[in-house]
Amino acid sequence: MLTVQKLRVEYKENPVGLDVRFPRISWQLQSEKRDVLQQSYEIEVSAEADFRRRLWSSGRVYSEQSSHVELAELMVRSRQRYYYRVRVWDMEDRSTEWSETAFWEMGLLAQEEWQAEWISAPLSLLDVEAEQCPLLRGSFHTAAKPLKARMYATALGLYELELNGSRVGDGYLTPGWTSYGQRLQVQAYDITAQIAAGENAVGAWLGNGWYKGNLGWDNRRHIFGSRTALLMQIHLTYEDGSEQIFATGENWTAAAGPILMSELYHGESYDARLELSGFSRAGYDDSRWSRVELITHSKEMLVAQANVPVRKIEQIKPLKLLKTPAGETVLDMGQNMVGWMQFSLDAPRGRQVELVHFEVLDRDGNVYTDNLRGARQKITYIAKGGGPESYEPRFTFQGFRYVQLTGFGEEPSLQDFTGIVLHSDMERTGFFACSNPLINQLQHNILWGQKGNFVDVPTDCPQRDERLGWTGDAQMFIRTSAYLMNVAPFFTKWLKDLSADQLDNGGVPFVIPNVLGENEHSSSAWGDAAVICPWTIYQCYGDKRILEEQYPSMQGWVEYIRQQGQDEYLWDTGFHFGDWLGLDAKPDSYKGATDTALIATAFYAYSVQLLQKTAGVLGRTEDARQYSELHSRIKEAFKHEFITPSGRLSVPTQTACVLALMFGLVEGTAKERTTDKLLKLLEESGHHLTTGFVGTPYLNLVLSEAGHTDAAYKLLLQTDYPSWLYQVTQGATTIWEHWDGIKEDGSFWSKDMNSFNHYAYGAIGDFLYRHVAGIELDEAYPGYKAFVIKPQPGGGLTWTAAALETMYGRICSEWNITADQLEMSVSVPPNTSATLYLPKADLPRVLEGDVPLEHAAGVHSTEQLEHEVKVILGSGDYKFSYKLGAQ
Ligand code: BGC
């Protein structure tokens, strides 16, 4: 039976509050059968769940498209809910039933619809220097219980709303971090169930967050503004069709709340004795509260939330309680995590407790906080007394594995503490395991690097006084991240901020949102995020719109580079981070030895090539032609500048070889010589890498693409410094910033820059999925409409099992070697096809299930190649087995 499943709009399940004018619908097919393709589809949209009146129907459309079908003819209206359903026909012309009904709902689409005013607490109420946080309150009366109630809210700073005593929504750190001057997100909530007939009350907590709090390592604050404020509007719809609006305005009241200090880096100080309990309930007496002040702030930059919300994703119980040699009381969470601690205590009124969060113990087993630099990561709580009480912060997050406790007494009970893991609630899509437990731990660490650093913005690290949207780091890790989780909405949002913050001349700030200032921009391999990220999202999710929307930004970046040097085709000017943290750096430098002009020109070529492909996809033929020509010229210039006439790469570093190979800048003899050189350099360093941020992500890929998978495995499997598994053997639970963050003698890399949760080197995840398990895109069929499975067993691994949830469904690739027999299970989702390469296979000896490969259902074609058998597969689940050939 063929069915239509997993209906999504803009990647989301039944979203409320969209502002996308032409929403795109995606669905998946499910079938027990093999070789299933969609021949045609039909979509119906209605304003009612029972489809009594249709607003729009696509009619029967003959197309295989099942993701991102744009509803271009539907004129969407503000706040309207749209129900939709889909049915499809297969190639035998059999139709499915209508899918289950799904919906989406638009948010406030026009600025004029905002009746709400920006309200702020009078500054005289607060200890402004200490960054105390206010509470705001408003109430309203409803004649009857409304049929439908929605709340739209945003803030300057962070907000948390309560309605009639209970929290609104399950998002945290709202409204999220954007380029606040130009884009501020609005969240929409269905509050129908929370509204009462009669008196209702809304209470708001405001925090400083990214808008007003400390950001960056030089202790700056008030970067976007100096005053927190709330903008909120409730729309009520009654049975008779009448509407009522209740919004923030001058009749709201404000009070200083129990949050004495709240900072993303520093934590929170909370005096529970100052709680104003029940303030968000009807009937609460706020006569001693002050009137709010109206402030002027534009509403022009309001946009709907594009990203998935930050939520509480999981809970971790502490592993153990430690007493350090220095006498400190410390909780070990067993995992370097990002979020906060929830705790309960039974203490007398006025008792102060403290929690300091940190990543590692020092060599002697004592608390180590030096690598947090200026970030205090400290929670201070003053008890109200009178029985058990519990607490968790609101407007901060910490990166930590350990928590030092003060004031909890000699033997705090582990039961009283829970770690709350927070991050953007992205769907987990990638799963990878193999026969080597160290690699499995590495995989775990990569995943946790992503969890900890995808808190609304892709950050370099989540713990020290940085946590910024470094473009380079994002670019290096994006492909791996797209294996592990669905990162499309996450990057859709961030790239809009990148466009917003891009300079007029096309330069790209080092961090997005830009908090470093106008002068800190445009290093190669960092700014290239403007091109690499949209292209990667397009490739992984088939999302053409992101290319359309980002095209001016992508082009802006390339044109910026073009203006930089004397020579239009080389980039040999300006500041670059270079092969950041490369091990071939001079002492006292973070910049690896690879010539930055080589790096810059190589990335220039790569960005131009991707821009050319993008122009092609978007049908901009003239641009495609021009950029193709530009690309050839850059390649020529690269050759002229960096390759000797006899084909030797003149910059003899691992990273130089990697980039030249990865970006196709060496051909023929030069390619051979560069590959040989890379192998030689690796041999000279005892099969260890010297690469930094720029070279590392591609190192294993180029080796295996050049047919040297064994060399790639050698690197992967090293357990001594420098290697991925060195940190694993040192007990790491996330990816480190430095290969020797902790040295073999237990001492640390210098405290000025030593994060233990930095995802950049986690980019090796790409190699695990792409080459070890072999799940690879087919560039011509983005979003895995067609894809390749080309596993490369090696490194002594006896099995690997990987899966990837795509827009079409789940791809699986599992291989298992016993003696000289290889078994392989493969899943190809309906409406897709795969090109499978069976390693070391001899065609006549391959079985699928118990039939010879060539006779198996779903197999379209087979071909014996030199070292492998190539099979074209339709959808379905397959099991192959064969005796390994001698090749
Ligand atoms: C960050 C990096 C970033 C770099 C720029 C560091 O402080 O942590 O990950 O890319 O600066 O070189």
| 471 CA to centre of ligand 1 in angstroms | 9
Say whether pLDDT at 887 is over 70.
no
In this structure, what token pair is assigned to residue 214? Answer: 């400390």
Residues 280 and 283: their CA atoms lie apart, in Å, by: 9
How far apart (Å, rounded) are the C-alpha atoms in residues 602 and 580?
16
Alpha carbon of 460 to ligand 1 centroid (Å):
7
Atom 3 of ligand 1, nearest CA residue? 470
Q: Alpha-carbon distance 106 to 15, whole Å?
A: 8
The conformation of residue 506, written as its DSSP 8-state character, comes to S
Ligand 1 nearest atom to the CA of residue 472, by list position: 10
* Helix pair 709-717, 696-705: axis angle to 10 deg: 140
Whether ligand 1 lies within 6 angstroms of the CB of 784 is answered as: no
* For ligand 1, atom 6: residue with the closest CA: 460
Q: Is the pLDDT of residue 472 over 80?
A: yes
Look at residue 54 in the predicted model and tell me its pLDDT: 95
Across the range 549-559, mean pLDDT stands at 98
Q: Does the C-beta of 457 come closer than 6 Å to ligand 1?
A: no
**CB of 402 closer than 6 A to ligand 1?**
no
If you take atom 5 of ligand 1, which residue's CA is the nearest one? 577
Atom number in ligand 1 closest to CA 510: 5
Q: Is the CB–ligand 1 distance for residue 736 below 6 Å?
A: no
Secondary structure of residue 244 in the 3-state scheme: strand
Going by C-alpha positions, the residue among 821, 822, 831, 783 that lies closest to residue 804 is 783
CA of 373 to the centre of ligand 1 (A): 14
SS3 state at 387? coil
Sheet holding 166-167, edge to edge: 166-167, 158-163, 198-207, 134-142, 253-256, 290-291
Average pLDDT score, the chain: 97
* Choice between 885 and 120, residue whose per-residue pLDDT is larger: 120
Give the β-pairing of 398-406 and 166-167. Answer: unpaired
Spatial CB neighbours of 341, under 8 Å, sequence gap ≥ 6: 331, 355, 357, 379, 392, 403, 417, 418, 419, 420
pLDDT digits (tens, 9 = 90+) for 492-541: 999 999 999 999 999 999 999 999 999 999 999 999 999 999 999 999 99
Please state whether beta strands 833-839 and 821-828 pair in parallel, antiparallel, or not at all (unpaired): unpaired
Say yes or no to pLDDT of 129 above 90.
Answer: no
The CATH T-level fold of domain 430-750+758-772 is: Glycosyltransferase (1.50.10)
* Residue located nearest, by CA, to atom 2 of ligand 1: 460
Residue 577, ligand 1, Cβ within 6 A: yes
Residue 30: count other Cβ atoms within 10 Å of its Cβ: 15
Establish whether residue 460 lines the binding site of ligand 1, counting it when its CB lies within 6 angstroms of any ligand atom: yes
456 lines ligand 1 (CB under 6 A): no
Whether 470 is in the pocket of ligand 1, judged by its Cβ within 6 Å, is yes
How many CA atoms within 13 Å lie on the side-chain side of 778? 15
* Confidence (pLDDT) at 885: 82
Q: For residue range 609-632, list pLDDT tens digits in order.
A: 999 999 999 999 999 999 999 999
What topology does CATH give the domain 775-883?
A: Maltose phosphorylase, domain 3 (2.60.420)
**Are the C-beta atoms of 760 and 693 separated by less than 8 Å?**
yes
Distance (angstroms) between ligand 1 centre and the Cα of 736 equals 13
Work out which ligand 1 atom sits closest to the CA atom of 470: 10
Q: Give the three-class secondary structure for 812.
A: strand
Determine contact, residues 160/205, Cβ cutoff 8 Å: yes
Q: How far is CA 164 from the centre of its chain?
A: 34
Q: Quick check: helix, strand or coil at residue 401?
A: strand
- DSSP conformational letter for 764: G
What was the pLDDT predicted at 621?
98
CA angle 286–289–295, rounded 5-degree value: 120
399 CB near ligand 1 (under 6 Å): no
To test the pocket of ligand 1, the residue of 460, 476, 579, 591 to mutate (highest count of ligand atoms within 8 Å of its CB) is: 460
Q: Give the residue, by CA position, lying nearest to ligand 1 atom 8.
A: 460
Report how far residue 44's alpha carbon sits from residue 393's, in angstroms, rounded to the nearest whole number: 45
User: Which helix (H) or strand (E) element contains residue 674?
Assistant: helix 668-684
Q: What's the CATH fold of domain 311-424? A: Jelly Rolls (2.60.120)
Backbone φ, ψ for residue 766 (5° rounding): -55, -45
Q: How far is the CA of 365 from the centre of ligand 1 (A)?
A: 28
pLDDT at residue 156, rounded to an integer: 98
72: buried, middle or exposed (CB in 10 Å: 19+, 13-18, 0-12)? Answer: exposed
Residue 709 — pLDDT band, cuts 50, 70, 90?
very high
Q: Which of 466, 776, 805, 868 is catalytic?
A: 466
pLDDT tens for each residue of 793-824? 999 999 999 999 999 999 999 999 999 999 99
Q: What is the DSSP string of 442-492?
A: HHHHHHHHHHHHEESEE-S-SSSS----BHHHHHHHHHHHHHHB--HHHHH
- 290-301 pLDDT tens trace: 999 999 999 999
User: Whole-angstrom Cα distance, residue 30 to residue 99?
Assistant: 11
Q: State the average pLDDT over residues 160-188.
A: 98
How confident is the model over 262-276, as pLDDT tens digits?
Answer: 999 999 999 999 999
Does 722 contact ligand 1 (Cβ within 6 A)? no
Q: Which of 473, 475, 511 to mutate to test the pocket of ligand 1 (most atoms within 8 A of CB)?
A: 473
Residue 778 alpha carbon to ligand 1 centre in Å: 32
568: DSSP letter: T
What would the mean pLDDT of 184-212 be, rounded to a whole number?
A: 97
Confidence (pLDDT) at 588: 86
Is 215 touching ligand 1 by the criterion CB < 6 Å? no
* Ligand 1 atom nearest to CA at 753: 7
> Which residue of 476, 526, 528, 580 sits with most ligand 1 atoms within 8 Å of its CB, as the best mutation to test the pocket?
580
> How many other C-beta atoms lie within 10 A of the C-beta of residue 111?
11
The finding on whether 473 has its CB within 6 A of some atom of ligand 1 is: yes
Q: How far apart are CA 885 and CA 822, in angstroms?
A: 10
Secondary structure of residue 249 in the 3-state scheme: coil
CA of 737 to the centre of ligand 1 (A): 9
pLDDT of 566: 86
Distance 529 CA to ligand 1 centre (A): 14
Q: CA angle, 63 as apex, 62 and 68 as ends, to 5°? A: 135
Query: Is the shortest distance between the CB of 261 and ligand 1 below 6 Å?
Result: no
Among protein residues, the one whose CA lies closest to atom 1 of ligand 1: 460
DSSP β-bridge partners for residue 235: 150, 245
Superfamily of domain 3-106: Immunoglobulins (2.60.40.10)
Which residue out of 464, 470, 596, 736 has the highest number of ligand 1 atoms within 8 Å of its CB and is therefore the one to mutate?
470
Q: How far apart are CA 475 and CA 599, in angstroms?
A: 15
Top-tier CATH class for 111-307: mainly beta
CA–CA dist 600, 588 (Å, integer): 22
Kindly state the tokens that stand for 473.
């780091």
Measured from the CB, is residue 246 less than 6 Å from ligand 1?
A: no
* Beta-carbon count within 10 A of 830 CB: 25
**Is it true that 111-307 and 311-424 share their CATH fold?**
yes
Is residue 187 within 8 A of residue 322, CB to CB? The reply is no
Instruction: Answer yes or no: is the C-beta of 543 below 6 A from any ligand 1 atom.
Output: no
> 293 CA distance to ligand 1 centroid (A)?
40
Confirm or reject: Cβ of 837 under 6 Å from ligand 1: no
Q: Tell me, what's the pLDDT at 338?
A: 98
Residues 6+ apart with CB under 8 A from 774: 788, 789, 790, 791, 792, 813, 837
Cα–Cα distance for residue pair 750/371, rounded to 1 Å: 8
Q: Which two tokens stand for residue 467?
A: 């946590």
Is the distance from the beta carbon of residue 466 to the nearest atom of ligand 1 less than 6 Å? Answer: yes
Ligand 1 in reach of 477 Cβ (< 6 A): no
Task: Kindly give the distance from the C-alpha atom of residue 686 to the centroid of ligand 1, in angstroms, as a whole number.
Answer: 28
Q: Which amino acid is at 166?
A: S
Residue 697 CA to ligand 1 centre (angstroms)? 15
User: Which band of pLDDT confidence, cut at 50, 70 and 90, is reported for residue 130?
Assistant: confident
Q: Which atom of ligand 1 is nearest to the CA of 693?
A: 10
Distance CA 409, CA 387 (A): 16
- Read off the pLDDT of each residue in 394-416 and give the average, rounded to a whole number: 96
> Is residue 592 within 8 Å of residue 601, measured between CB atoms?
no
Give the domain ranges of the chain: 3-106, 111-307, 311-424, 430-750+758-772, 775-883
Dump pLDDT digits (tens) for 557-615: 999 999 998 899 999 999 999 999 999 999 889 999 999 999 999 999 999 999 999 99
Reduce the DSSP state of residue 705 to 3 states and report it. Answer: helix
CA 762 to centroid of ligand 1, rounded, Å: 15
Distance from the alpha carbon of residue 847 to the mean position of ligand 1, in angstroms: 51
Residue owning tokens 């990816």 = 735
For the Cβ of 465 lying below 6 angstroms from any atom of ligand 1, the answer is no
CA gyration radius for the chain?
Answer: 28
Preceding peptide of 513 cis, ω within 30°: yes
Peptide bond connecting 175 to the previous residue in cis, omega within 30 degrees of 0: yes
Q: Whose CA is nearest to atom 4 of ligand 1?
A: 470
Residues 6 or more apart in contact with residue 465 via CB below 8 angstroms: 214, 216, 217, 219, 265, 372, 373, 374, 375
Closest ligand 1 atom, residue 217 Cα: 7
* pLDDT tens track for 302-351: 999 999 999 999 999 999 999 999 999 999 999 999 999 999 999 999 99
From the list 10, 117, 263, 737, the catalytic residue is 737
Ligand 1 center to 470 CA (angstroms): 7
Instruction: Verify whether residue 466 is a known catalytic residue.
Output: yes
SS (H, E, C) 649-664: ECCCCHHHHHHHHHCC
Nearest ligand 1 atom to the CA of 577 is: 12
Model's pTM, two decimal places?
0.97
Buried b (16+ CB within 10 A) or exposed e, 492-514: bbbbbbbbbbbeeebbbbbbbbb
Nearest CA to ligand 1 atom 9: 460
Task: Burial-class residue 667 by CB neighbours within 10 Å (0-12, 13-18, 19+).
Answer: middle
- Confidence band (pLDDT; 50, 70, 90) for 886? low
Q: Which of 803, 822, 813, 826 is nearest to 868 (CA)?
A: 822
